[in-house]
Structure 1
Amino acid sequence: MASAKNRNLTKVLIGIGGGIAAYKVCEVISSLFKAGLQVRVILTRSAQEFITPLTVATLSRHQAYTDDDFWQAINGRPLHIELGEWADVVVLAPLTANTLGKLTYGLADNLLTNTVLASTSPVLLAPAMNTDMWEQVAVQRNWQQLLQDRRYHSVGPGAGLLACDRIGAGRMAEPPEIIASVQSLLHTQGKRDLAGKRVLISAGGTREHLDPVRFIGNPSTGKMGLALAQAAINRGAIVTLIHSIPAGLSSDFPAIANGREERGSMKAITVVSAEEMRQAMLLNFPLSDLIVMSAAVADVKPGIYSNEKLAKRSLPSTLPLEPVPDILAELGNLKHPHQTLIGFAAQTGDIVTPALEKLQRKKLDFIVANPIDQPDSGFGSDRNKAIVIDNKERQFEIEPCSKLQMAHYIFDIVQNGTLVL
């Protein structure tokens, strides 16, 4: 059995530009440090009008660098060379129109732009500016031109209320988006092995209603499905997410809500019941290359339904149940040779034996067996672990990790037939 281990890519260099959104970067720095990553920060001269070097130095537990340090040497080497080679991933947030223009044309007149040009690592761009500035022809030309360089990746911008009281595009991506994109880049190092592929993902737990307020359900939050969607988007896929995820949770993933991220694209369809999920999956299935059924779909539904809330005294003493269609088995029967179908098996106790049976019976290409009776795994947890089994019965063990990391391991296995360590 192959086993996945955490990658040893931990060094993130953050370049902060001059914009009010700079305050959001403090949360990014703090969160990345708490996650065990090494963080270094460069502030442009304009950025220091919004936050101080002392603030980011405190959050990153390391000296913050400014243009005043440009000629400082580290280990006898120029600072911009040392920082550029040190970084596994570079983040520019907020990316201003000024810095965007410089990078587009390969100009370097400060510590930040010199460091970016001295590095070969992936660069994550998080632009932020007034809507009229963002929509200028010159800015959009620079943006599209820079993204033609495969080294550069984007997160946002989103739309909403801006600091200038304008409502429109140009709002910097929220910290959870930026953090997830950084973690993805640390894993993939910028590869887009799902570019152009259509990935269909189901997520969340379905609800089978007895009346408008009562239902049969399960504890699934859809976090694993959201992580799979995020990872697929970061790897360049065109994603369709069929989900029954509570609004409060999906709002923590603005990339999902906004519908677009990086070079891939995103369409989200909200459903409630198993039948609604079935119809949406069948509609989107024919054009999909990779299908990941991570949703916890109900097995049964109430045999009766009332359009009005039942009074407590009217509730049946015994509830008749009816089976619901087996979506995954139906997709297995419809699958074409060019399609890859992945199922999930949430289990207690022995997770492998029932997963193998499910893999074969439902004609799957892969199945992800994960325990729901162990700490830090399963429903509602931010972490997970699993054994992935392919249709040749090869087993790949994914040790405890974040659900986003696990999503990337799953795609590594599917794309390469092995774990990318």
Structure 2
Amino acid sequence: MLNPATVNKRVLIGVGGGIAAYKVCEVVSTLFKTGIEIRVILTRSAQEFITPLTLATLSRHCAYTDDSFWQPTHSRPLHIELGEWADLLVIAPLTANTLAKLAYGMADNLLTNTVLASTCPVLLAPAMNTDMWEQSAVQRNWHQILIDRRYHGMNTASGLLACDRIGAGRMAEPPEIMAYVQSLLHTQGVRDLVGKQVLISAGGTREYFDTVRFIGNPSTGKMGLALAQAALHRGASVTLVHGPANWDVPLGVQAISVTSAEEMQQVMRSYFPTADVIFMAAAVADVKPRDYSPEKLPKRSLPQALPLEPVPDIIAQLAQLKQPHQRLVGFAAQTGDIITPAIEKLQSKKLDVIVTNPIDQPDSGFGSDNNQAIILDRQGRKVEIAPCSKLLMAHHLFDFVR
């Protein structure tokens, strides 16, 4: 589906020589479907793993190789044209060889010449054997290149590698790469949250009355996940406190899983003092069963009426602890009139900002990949966010809070 935020954006993807090159096919195909213009450069070793024809087909444009570089078929030097054309450059997989060249400003092929001939942000997704990745020379090059704020590095994952080694060095998965691309196209590479601690709650809580039955809600935590991704991509240190979820935590995010409102309260209060920005995006239960059975109750023993009691009001407690430098952001999922109850919550809870979103609109709210909202603050500012991806909405929220 076309994404209005990315239509006419231009992304140049450089493919290095590694088995992870096959993952780039999904990245290229998916980004093209969002409306992004794609160009691809393959190094000579990358062509041992994947063909230019494959990537040309997926990107709907010829894929460039070193042979293209040396053929005088362009009115201007190819690396200059490509470098000026790109809004963003992605190198995936980034090999130890290409990393070393970038770290020392070397340019001996089309890809490295294009990097030096461009000024756009560069996203690096390394992939290599664990022993290679952990070599002191490779780590030195990695840290050296990231000193240049033009370069944005993705963490490697740990797991079973193609060489049968279990350890670090796996390239980030395509959905993570695509999310980072979306972020960089929005921020243009600006990392305005470097040095900031961002604390986020996400997902629904569950209040059990026996071992298998609980009071809950349909929240999936996708909005909190998007906030964590956006904060990470903008340079923040991120702690994500989430209820039961079926998504993967982004590499580089400290995630703490909880179940009940009481557990979430304890963790949020523990991390709150060091946080600069706090997003209470979790859909916390309002009540819990008064009694709990440590065994599953047979159907005949279920109570005809379930006595309830309130759960802790987490965000109200955090507001009481808030220091002047901290920003506390709440959420209000509403039906019908979404503004009046949001303003009431903003004032009664003493929040800095509240995000109110309709959950009775199609493709919005709980479980959706998209959202829409109105953002309000205590100074009377009001910004309406039209339907968009939750990641883009997260960036709009950070723009507002900033």
TM-score, structure 1 as length reference: 0.93
Per the alignment, residue 284 of structure 2 pairs with 297
**CA shift for structure 1 position 9:** 6.3
Contact 1:197 1:289 survives alignment (8 Å): yes
Per the alignment, residue 263 of structure 1 pairs with none
The answer as to 2:391 corresponding to 1:404 is yes
Per the alignment, residue 371 of structure 1 pairs with 358
Per the alignment, residue 192 of structure 2 pairs with 193
Per the alignment, residue 250 of structure 1 pairs with 247
Contact 1:71 1:78 survives alignment (8 Å): no
Per the alignment, residue 14 of structure 2 pairs with 15
- Structure 1 gap ranges (5+): 261-265, 416-421
Rounded to whole Å, the distance in 2 between the matches of 1:323 and 1:9 is: 50
Once the two structures are superposed, residues 80-126 of structure 1 have per-residue CA deviations (whole angstroms, 9 ceiling, x without a partner) of 11111111110000001111111111110110001111000000000
Rounded to whole Å, the distance in 2 between the matches of 1:73 and 1:225 is: 50
Rounded to whole Å, the distance in 2 between the matches of 1:73 and 1:413 is: 49
Aligned pairs for 1:111-190 (under 5 A) are 111-190=110-189
Once the two structures are superposed, residues 246-293 of structure 1 have per-residue CA deviations (whole angstroms, 9 ceiling, x without a partner) of 2xx222x4x2xx4x1xxxxx2111100001101111111111111000
Per the alignment, residue 413 of structure 1 pairs with 400
The answer as to 2:337 corresponding to 1:338 is no
Bigger RCO (CA 8 Å, 6+ sep): 1
Contact 1:203 1:243 survives alignment (8 Å): yes
Would the alpha carbon gap of residues 318 and 19 (structure 1) be closer, same or farther in structure 2, given more than 3 Å must change?
A: same
Contact 1:88 1:121 survives alignment (8 Å): yes
Per the alignment, residue 77 of structure 2 pairs with 78
Once the two structures are superposed, residues 205-237 of structure 1 have per-residue CA deviations (whole angstroms, 9 ceiling, x without a partner) of 000001010000000000000000010011111
Over the matched positions of the two proteins, sequence identity in percent amounts to 73
Aligned pairs for 1:171-250 (under 5 A) are 171-246=170-245, 249-250=246-247
Per the alignment, residue 373 of structure 2 pairs with 386
3-state secondary structure, aligned to 2:209: strand
Once the two structures are superposed, residues 8-32 of structure 1 have per-residue CA deviations (whole angstroms, 9 ceiling, x without a partner) of 6611100000001100111111111
3-state secondary structure, aligned to 1:330: helix
The answer as to 2:102 corresponding to 1:103 is yes
Per the alignment, residue 39 of structure 2 pairs with 40
Which of residues 343, 359, 363 is equivalent to 2:346?
A: 359
Per the alignment, residue 419 of structure 1 pairs with none
**CA shift for structure 1 position 73:** 6.3
Amino acid at match of 2:291: I
3-state secondary structure, aligned to 1:381: coil
The answer as to 2:29 corresponding to 1:30 is yes
Per the alignment, residue 278 of structure 1 pairs with 265
3-state secondary structure, aligned to 1:286: helix
Rounded to whole Å, the distance in 1 between the matches of 2:58 and 2:318 is: 49
Would the alpha carbon gap of residues 361 and 399 (structure 1) be closer, same or farther in structure 2, given more than 3 Å must change?
A: same
Contact 1:11 1:39 survives alignment (8 Å): yes
Amino acid at match of 2:290: G
Tell me how many residue pairs correspond in the alignment.
399
Once the two structures are superposed, residues 285-342 of structure 1 have per-residue CA deviations (whole angstroms, 9 ceiling, x without a partner) of 1111110000000001112111111010000011111111111111112111111000
Per the alignment, residue 327 of structure 1 pairs with 314
Once the two structures are superposed, residues 126-148 of structure 1 have per-residue CA deviations (whole angstroms, 9 ceiling, x without a partner) of 01111111111111111111111
Contact 2:126 2:169 survives alignment (8 Å): yes
Aligned-CA RMSD value: 1.3
3-state secondary structure, aligned to 2:214: strand
Contact 1:202 1:295 survives alignment (8 Å): yes
Rounded to whole Å, the distance in 2 between the matches of 1:403 and 1:122 is: 23
